[in-house]
Each structure stands twice: as C-alpha cells, then as structure tokens.
Amino acid sequence: MNRLLYSLLLCALLAASAMTRAETSMDEEIDYLLAAVAGSGCMFIRNGKESEAAAAVDHLQMKRKRGKRYYSSTEEFIERIASSSSWSGKPYFIACGEMDPTPIKDWYLTVLAEFRSK
C-alpha cells in the first residue's frame, strides 16, 4: 500500500512540475510579446485611436491579469485577450513607420514564431 501511495504521489508531483514548466513557458512567451510591443517604436491602434507602445503594454498587462481565466496558451492569449477590444470587438492594429497598419494578431504570431525558433 505504501508503494502505491508513493507512486501516486510521485506521479502527482511530476504532473505538477510539467504544468509549472508549461505555465512558465507561456508566461515567458507573453512577456516576450509585450516586450516586443514596448520596444517596437510602433503605434498601437485600439478602437480607432492611436497610442504609444508603452500605453499599449500597460493596457495589455491589465487585460492579461484580468483575463487569465480565458487563456491557457500563448495562442489563446493572442486570440482572446491581446488582439481585439473586449468592449467593442474591434481588432487591434499596429502601425510601424510608413507601413500600413497591420492586424496585431498577425504581428504577434510572427514575433512568437521568431521567439520559438531561437
């Protein structure tokens, strides 16, 4: 009986450890995305209004904290939290230099792919 209990406890600890690593990885990826926004020098367009990158990151951090129950992966964070207004439903855009505004979802996915390839 003690061996069975020990084995179950070991399995539970290993599962918890794996979940913690997955969460850390997701948090690292989201941190990287937000740092990329902060360092981009681009304009963030939310509900038709432009804002500086620093203000965008503050807004996204607030949404990240409040919306934690709505995502369990970086892709879900991008889709459900960081790509559109929860109030109006309008997509967010990012405008860098002379380029036309791009849906930020596409921009995030490109940045995420670059991060994962390192």
Angle in degrees, CA 67, 73, 74, rounded to 5: 85
3-state SS assignment for residue 89: coil
- Determine the pLDDT at residue 6: 42
Radius of gyration of the chain (CA): 18
- Determine the pLDDT at residue 29: 97
Q: Is the dihedral of CA 26, 27, 28, 29 positive or negative?
A: positive
- Residues 56-102: pLDDT tens digits? 999 999 999 999 999 999 999 999 999 999 999 999 999 999 989 99
DSSP state at residue 83: S
Global pTM value: 0.77
- Determine the pLDDT at residue 30: 97
Give the distance, in angstroms, between the CA of residue 100 and the centroid of all CA atoms in the same chain: 23
